[in-house]
């Protein structure tokens, strides 16, 4: 019989998710610091190539997995969509405020929910549809078309969220068959390969300092994925998901303090709407799974 997480475990999950948020905010701040001096595709490639050092412990599990042809194709497909998502994300980071990047990135789980209903046949209840409508209204509040100029960076972030969600759907299939180590390791390999030709096409010799900053990006990104895994182990998504709102608050603060980006209350309001909708969808999914697990066949 399944039990809800104890209070200490729930608190541990929340604290690990706070650490995750700090790691990912550092990723965005460092990429923002590098800016457009390094082309987006090249910066993304260097981030993944320099991060391959963290892949070494994963080589053994990947080789022992004996991937099937179908699994290799799925990994390749995920590598393609994730490559495009990362390029667009690096492009957006250099062109729009940190807070807007963070807020619009919250759309990824919304797109994933829509994709799961369309491509994986998951149930699509009216409450979930209402939450998606709220999230999309939140995106409109952030973008405010007709009130202000929609920049290429905004369009890039909408594409980033869509491509990331496609990658999550593929990862969902693969995670049912393979260990998390293999899934994460193969993502690093395929995205590094996928980014290489894009980087070569726009290559500008980076400075040692720029390489150092991008290596730090790889360090914080790896740490973020690790602490996120620990958060998910300690407590359900329904507990940890709302904590990600802190990322938006930190992004607004860092943008204002270090990059001269004025705080925009419309962005915070829109981001709050999107995250509230995502948290509701997450809670509904967790409740549905508990109900399904309680059915005796």
**155: pLDDT confidence band, cut at 50, 70 and 90?**
very high
Burial letters for 49-71: b for 16+ Cβ neighbours within 10 Å, e otherwise?
bbbeebbeebeeebeebebeeeb
Cα 155–Cα 160–Cα 163 angle in degrees, nearest 5: 125
Most confident by average pLDDT, 11-25, 108-122, 144-158, 195-209: 195-209
Q: d(Cα 41, Cα 196) in Å, to the nearest integer?
A: 8
Task: Return the half-sphere exposure (C-beta side, CA atoms, 13 A cut-off) of residue 289.
Answer: 12
pLDDT for res 294: 45
At a CB cut-off of 8 Å and minimum separation 6, what does 283 contact? 238
Q: Which two tokens stand for residue 186?
A: 């193969």
At 158 the three-state DSSP class reads: helix
Q: What secondary structure letter does DSSP report for 115?
A: H
Q: Whole-angstrom Cα distance, residue 184 to residue 170? A: 12
Long-range contacts of 260-268 (CB under 8 A, 24+ apart): 261/97, 261/98, 261/99, 263/99, 264/97, 264/99, 264/100, 266/141, 266/142, 266/144, 267/97, 267/99, 267/100, 267/103, 267/142, 268/99, 268/103
Note the pLDDT of residue 5. 46
Average pLDDT along the chain: 87
- Compute the distance between CA of residue 95 and CA of residue 125 in angstroms, rounded to an integer: 37
- pLDDT, residue 289, reads 66
Query: CA 181 to CA 60: how far, in whole Å?
Result: 10
Look at residue 263 in the predicted model and tell me its pLDDT.
85
Mean pLDDT computed over 191-195? 96
Cβ atoms of 141 and 275 within 8 Å: the answer is: no
The torsion region of residue 124 among left (phi > 0), alpha (psi -120 to 50) and beta comes to beta
**Mean pLDDT across 93-121:** 87
CA–CA distances in Å: residue 258 to residues 24, 44, 98, 254, 262: 16, 22, 11, 6, 11
How much is the average pLDDT of 133-158?
93
| Residue 81 CB-density burial (10 A; 0-12 exposed, 13-18 middle, 19+ buried) | buried
What confidence category does residue 293 fall into, taking pLDDT thresholds of 50, 70 and 90?
low
Indicate the domain borders of the chain.
7-294
Taking the chain, what is the end-to-end CA distance rounded to the nearest angstrom?
15
Question: In Å, how far from its chain's centre is CA 108?
Answer: 7
Sign of the four-CA dihedral 260, 264, 269, 274: negative
Q: pTM score, two decimals?
A: 0.84
What pLDDT does residue 118 have? 81
The per-residue pLDDT for range 252-270, each reduced to its tens digit, is: 999 999 999 988 999 999 9
pLDDT tier at 280, thresholds 50, 70, 90: confident
- For residues 31 and 91, is the Cβ–Cβ distance under 8 A? no
């Amino acid at each position: 019989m399944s039990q809800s997480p104890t209070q200490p475990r729930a608190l541990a999950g929340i604290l690990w998710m706070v650490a995750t948020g700090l790691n990912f905010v550092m990723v965005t701040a460092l990429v923002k610091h590098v800016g457009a001096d390094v082309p987006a595709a090249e910066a993304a490639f260097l981030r993944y190539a320099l991060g391959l050092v963290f892949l070494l412990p994963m080589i053994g599990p990947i080789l022992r997995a004996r991937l099937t042809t179908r699994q290799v194709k799925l990994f390749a497909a995920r590598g393609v969509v994730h490559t495009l998502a990362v390029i667009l994300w690096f492009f957006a980071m250099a062109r729009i405020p940190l807070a807007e990047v963070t807020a619009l990135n919250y759309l990824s789980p919304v797109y994933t929910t829509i994709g799961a209903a369309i491509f994986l046949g998951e149930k699509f209840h009216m409450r979930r549809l209402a939450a998606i409508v709220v999230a999309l209204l939140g995106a409109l509040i952030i973008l405010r078309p007709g009130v202000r100029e929609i920049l290429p960076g905004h369009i890039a972030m909408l594409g980033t969220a869509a491509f990331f969600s496609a990658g999550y759907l593929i990862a969902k299939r693969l995670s049912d068959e393979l260990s998390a180590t293999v899934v994460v390791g193969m993502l690093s390999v395929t995205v590094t390969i996928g980014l290489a030709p894009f980087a070569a096409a726009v290559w500008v010799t980076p400075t040692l300092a720029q390489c150092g900053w991008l290596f730090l990006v790889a360090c914080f990104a790896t740490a973020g994925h690790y602490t996120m895994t620990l958060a998910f182990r300690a407590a359900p998504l329904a507990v940890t998901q709302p904590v990600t709102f802190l990322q938006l608050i930190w992004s607004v603060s860092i943008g204002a303090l270090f990059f001269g980006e004025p705080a925009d209350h419309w962005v915070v309001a829109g981001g709050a709407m999107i995250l509230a909708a995502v948290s509701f969808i997450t809670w509904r999914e967790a409740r549905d799974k508990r109900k399904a697990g309680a059915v005796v066949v």
